[in-house]
Structure 1
Amino acid sequence: MKHSNLRNSIFYLIGLLGHDFFYFAFTLYIIKFITSALFTGADGHYTDTMVATISGAIVTIRVVELVLDPFLGALIDNTKSRFGRYKPWIMLGGVVCSSSFVLLFTTLGGTNLTHPVLYLCMFLVLFLIMDGSYSLYDIAMWSMIPAISTTYEERNRIGTVARLGAGIGQALLTIFVMPSIILGKNLFGSEQAGWLFFAIIVLVCTCLTALLTCIGVKEHESAIDTPNEKTKFTEVFSVIFKNDQLAWLALPNWCYYFSLALVSTLMTYYFQYVYGNAASYSTIFGTATLVVVVSILFYPWLTRRFSRKQVLFVALSVMIVSLAFFTFAGNNTVMVVIASVLFLLPQPIIFTSFLLELTDTIDYGQWKSGKRNASITLAVRPLLDKFAGALSNGVVGLVALVCGMTGAASIADITSGNIVVFKTIMCGLPIALLLLSMFVYQKKFKLNTAFHAQIMKDLEQRAAEDRQDSAEGVEDKQPQKTMVEQAI
């Protein structure tokens, strides 16, 4: 591996470590803090009302804000700076979103109990700032993949590196979340203070890793890139809708993201109210998270021997089996451990497969339209992720209320009927969605490895012709049809 590629790999891994450390803290634990510690001391009716209101507001904000992400992608695509196209947004987005995240883990001056309307207004403003700045951070971070890799092999390698860093970040967060909350509680005297201590750790990790990424990663000059062609904001959605492979890939992606967010967020409730030992979440599920670091290392080996679709479908099937195990595990430790390992094992492989397929649609879109819109295309991923996360947070808040899993509720307060409802949502719904994801992908997504390789040859041919025309001073020359275009 060249020195520059090795340097990029190391610093990009560090960047994704901090990115996913923040992402899972943001996705999984804000709603947990709200339902468990935020309203300590309030009566049950007030707590339930505020939890329901905040959960509904979060869903509303994230759904309404979906339309913003493609425009943020266009903003990044159109950026020119001496630091590159992506680094300014990685740094700015990382600092702002993690700072807002910390404030969301406070009582905002005690207004959560004394002035509920004021608290809700401040909470929603902070959440909006955090969500928007995270989108900039997220889109810019993942847009670096096509900026530092072009071939199938390079993208598999850098995708593996990225997901390895993300897996390490997820594992570290899962292992240390509960110990850090307990440490903060012991140091500062309350569970609320414990959660704030945890949020500050997330802030430090996010800002430090974003800075190291900006210092260490060097973007490559691409022969097929079109940096001088700015995308008008009025063209943003046409870029997405005219890319049919991107559109068809969106539904399987969303089904997966929603299933992952829903199960992951409900997992702490599972260990507390179904398995019956909340502390074991870090010892069992947290330790099992280490398998994501191991499994992603096999991704390049797997994709050299099997197609991405074959690897993806096997990984999705393993995830379905894990949910079946969770359904019947109850308080059986062996089954819970097996279910946890099987659930976590395929996650980096599924994510990387979908991400690299999405990255390939950038080249497909350029091949069809003549303009390269990397960040707009990759903005679809956080758009889907955000929509899935918003709905999952809303569903989790509703499940917590319906099943009596709020406030100081204990396992003794949970009925067998509550458990059935909980398992139906946590396991049954995701299984159905994952099967739908596989069906749509099989029927509609046609951008395989051979097709993508030919597209890259065509793009390079066009770029060479354009450079030759520019050198010869030829204007208004109509490009000849490429081999793929002639075939179609």
Structure 2
Amino acid sequence: MKQINQYFSYAFGAFGHDAFYATLSTYFMMFVTSQLFDGDSAAQNAKMIGYVTTMIVVIRLVEIMFDPLIGGLVDNTETKWGKFKPWLFVGALISGLMLMLIFTNFGGLTVSNPMLYLILFAIAFVILDIFYSFKDISFWSMLPALSLDSKTRTKFGTIARFGSTLGAQGVAIIIVPLVVYFSHIFSGTTGQTQTRTGWFWFAVVIAVVSFLGALATCLGTKEQTNAIREQTEHTRFRDVFKVIGENDQLMWLAFSYFLFALSYVVTNSLLIYYFRYIMGKPTEFSLVGVETAILGVISVAIFPLVESWIKRRAIYMGGIAVMLLGYVTFLFAGTNLTIVLIGVALFFFPYPMVFLATLMTITDSVEYGQLKNGTRNESVTLSVRPLIDKLAGAFANGIVAFAAIAAGMTGSAKASSISASGILQFKTYMFYAPMILLVIAAIIFARHVKLSEAEHAKIVAQLENNLDNQD
């Protein structure tokens, strides 16, 4: 019963965590490009969108360099609540407050004092990004602390991905209806009209859910104590990047996964634009959320079985192949809703399994690095996965905003106002470039990543044997 409670608590934490991540990385740019700037000058609005986008990309890229240091700080934390939970709690609280803040125009400063707005936005976003990093790293780096056994880790990872899939895709389901609903309630609008206030209250809901999920994880999970984990030493900040750099399997996997994640996030972020500006059916976007939530649950549920049959390597490579088939389907879909949804299904279904295959391999690289370098670094190693996702998200934010401006998909633009050249530019960003990235990611993984389930079992046995010999 205690184990079931831990699974549920970790899953709920992942649910709130990925609802937050989807809101920030996928839908915040839609708020920026369509609602945040409402001045009379379209040129000024586009300029402000460009400033905000550039700031987001620069802030996230700079902050990402500190993620391994944050991982080192978490690794070196010692409290009666463990080393992860204090950071998880504080990170969820402060990042949630900042999320609500950035979904406002700071009391009209976007029009009355744009420069002051940009300064305050930068401060708020820096705070959000730092504390989100503490939350992200502490949450996912708990995984190797919950068990040493790969099968048990797979169960924790699977149930966490189950929760995160529902969280992320649940946002796609509720975002349009919820924003419209809050716009009706607080702005007095009718029909499908969306307002800044509606978006703000949507952000409030996401922030609360994220915090409650983190609280559930803090209260319902427990770190495992064993001889191998006790071998952990304090990591000096100057050695953090050395720890990562010397773990060759971690580095190659990180490179491949970055290209994979970037292609996924860009396409996924532009999907709502596709429905609104290419198909002219923004209200139908909720179907994507329903479809991907169902497919995500199925994908995550069958992951342990599929892994037992074909192993993680085949899941990673096969998943990319199916996603490429989804891209091809998109290219022939046009505005046909049925074919678009088929393309979405092929594109999305493998994603949770590829994510889990990556997460489990990164988790196993903790012991790989421990055997190779003689020290165990859980949070430093696991910080690489959220670092990659944030790096991909940062670049994706910039690409999405650039694509929207280049294609004319800003402000009050409608599907009928998008030119043929605008559509071609948009499809280049959404389909053609990501396809190339996926192919490169598959080649890197196939050539360089060798850490399999069997290899990890040998490594754990060797570590245990080394400890026995020391005794």
TM tier, smaller:
over 0.9
- Preserved contact between residue 329 and residue 336 of structure 1 (Cα < 8 Å): yes
Give the letter for the 2:341 counterpart.
V
- Confirm or deny that 1:269 pairs with 2:267: no
How much has 1:41 moved relative to structure 2? Answer: 4.0
Other-structure match for 2:16: 18
Q: Of the two, which has the highest radius of gyration?
A: 1
How much has 1:324 moved relative to structure 2? Answer: 1.4
- Confirm or deny that 1:212 pairs with 2:216: yes
Distance 1:394 1:329 in 2: 26
Q: Pairwise mapping of residues 56-135 of structure 1 onto structure 2 (< 5 A)?
A: 56-135=54-133
Distance 1:129 1:440 in 2: 35
Distance 2:468 2:126 in 1: 45
Distance 2:172 2:13 in 1: 18
Other-structure match for 2:312: 308
- Find 2:252's aligned residue among 243, 248, 254: 248
Give the letter for the 1:95 counterpart.
L
Distance 1:86 1:222 in 2: 17
- Find 2:394's aligned residue among 390, 394, 400: 390
Distance 1:122 1:373 in 2: 36
- Preserved contact between residue 171 and residue 289 of structure 2 (Cα < 8 Å): no
Q: Which whole-Å deviations, capped at 9, do the CAs of 1:407-455 have from their partners, x for residues lacking one?
A: 1111111011111111111011111111111100111111112211110
Give the letter for the 2:65 counterpart.
V
Q: Which whole-Å deviations, capped at 9, do the CAs of 1:445-481 have from their partners, x for residues lacking one?
A: 1111221111000111122333x2xxxxxxxxxxxxx
Q: Which whole-Å deviations, capped at 9, do the CAs of 1:148-193 have from their partners, x for residues lacking one?
A: 1212211221111111011111122111111110011001116000
SS at match of 2:299: helix
Distance 2:293 2:397 in 1: 21
- Preserved contact between residue 285 and residue 340 of structure 1 (Cα < 8 Å): no
Compared CA separation, residues 160 and 36, structure 1 to 2 (3 A): same
Q: Pairwise mapping of residues 458-473 of structure 1 onto structure 2 (< 5 A)?
A: 458-466=462-470, 468=471
- Preserved contact between residue 289 and residue 344 of structure 1 (Cα < 8 Å): no
- Confirm or deny that 1:429 pairs with 2:433: yes
- Preserved contact between residue 94 and residue 134 of structure 1 (Cα < 8 Å): yes
- Confirm or deny that 1:377 pairs with 2:377: no
- Find 1:366's aligned residue among 370, 381, 390: 370
Unaligned runs of 5+ in 1: 469-488
Distance 1:58 1:171 in 2: 23
Distance 2:24 2:312 in 1: 30
Other-structure match for 1:145: 143
How much has 1:85 moved relative to structure 2? Answer: 1.1
SS at match of 2:227: coil
Distance 1:194 1:201 in 2: 11
Deviates more, 1:61-70 or 1:279-288: 279-288
How much has 1:66 moved relative to structure 2? Answer: 1.7
SS at match of 1:62: helix
How much has 1:42 moved relative to structure 2? Answer: 3.4
How much has 1:285 moved relative to structure 2? Answer: 4.2
Other-structure match for 1:28: 26
Distance 2:371 2:362 in 1: 15
Distance 1:192 1:211 in 2: 29
Distance 2:160 2:232 in 1: 28
Q: Which whole-Å deviations, capped at 9, do the CAs of 1:242-296 have from their partners, x for residues lacking one?
A: 1111111111110111111101111110101112211111134444332101111
- Preserved contact between residue 50 and residue 401 of structure 2 (Cα < 8 Å): yes
How much has 1:58 moved relative to structure 2? Answer: 0.9
Unaligned runs of 5+ in 2: 188-193
Deviates more, 1:218-227 or 1:60-69: 218-227
The root-mean-square deviation of aligned C-alpha atoms, in Å, is 1.2
SS at match of 2:225: coil
Distance 1:148 1:62 in 2: 29
- Confirm or deny that 1:7 pairs with 2:11: no
> Equivalent pairs: percent with the same residue?
36
- Find 1:191's aligned residue among 191, 195, 200: 195
- Find 2:458's aligned residue among 450, 454, 472: 454
- Confirm or deny that 1:336 pairs with 2:336: no
Give the letter for the 1:186 counterpart.
H
- Find 2:43's aligned residue among 45, 48, 51: 45
SS at match of 1:282: helix
- Find 1:408's aligned residue among 402, 406, 412: 412
Compared CA separation, residues 253 and 410, structure 1 to 2 (3 A): same
Other-structure match for 2:154: 156
- Preserved contact between residue 399 and residue 422 of structure 1 (Cα < 8 Å): yes
- Confirm or deny that 1:222 pairs with 2:220: no
Deviates more, 1:287-296 or 1:334-343: 287-296
TM-score after normalising by structure 2 = 0.97
- Confirm or deny that 1:443 pairs with 2:441: no
Compared CA separation, residues 222 and 124, structure 1 to 2 (3 A): same
Distance 1:348 1:132 in 2: 26
- Preserved contact between residue 285 and residue 337 of structure 1 (Cα < 8 Å): no
Distance 1:283 1:260 in 2: 19
Distance 1:409 1:29 in 2: 17
- Confirm or deny that 1:178 pairs with 2:182: no
Distance 1:124 1:465 in 2: 54
Give the letter for the 1:126 counterpart.
A
Give the letter for the 1:218 counterpart.
K
Other-structure match for 1:279: 283
Other-structure match for 2:190: none
Other-structure match for 2:355: 351
How much has 1:228 moved relative to structure 2? Answer: 5.4
Distance 1:290 1:27 in 2: 22
Give the letter for the 1:396 counterpart.
V
Compared CA separation, residues 464 and 7, structure 1 to 2 (3 A): farther
- Preserved contact between residue 93 and residue 134 of structure 1 (Cα < 8 Å): yes
Distance 2:313 2:449 in 1: 10
How much has 1:52 moved relative to structure 2? Answer: 0.8
- Preserved contact between residue 175 and residue 287 of structure 1 (Cα < 8 Å): no
SS at match of 1:307: helix
Give the letter for the 1:136 counterpart.
F
Give the letter for the 2:312 counterpart.
R
SS at match of 1:180: helix
Distance 2:179 2:226 in 1: 46
- Preserved contact between residue 154 and residue 304 of structure 2 (Cα < 8 Å): yes
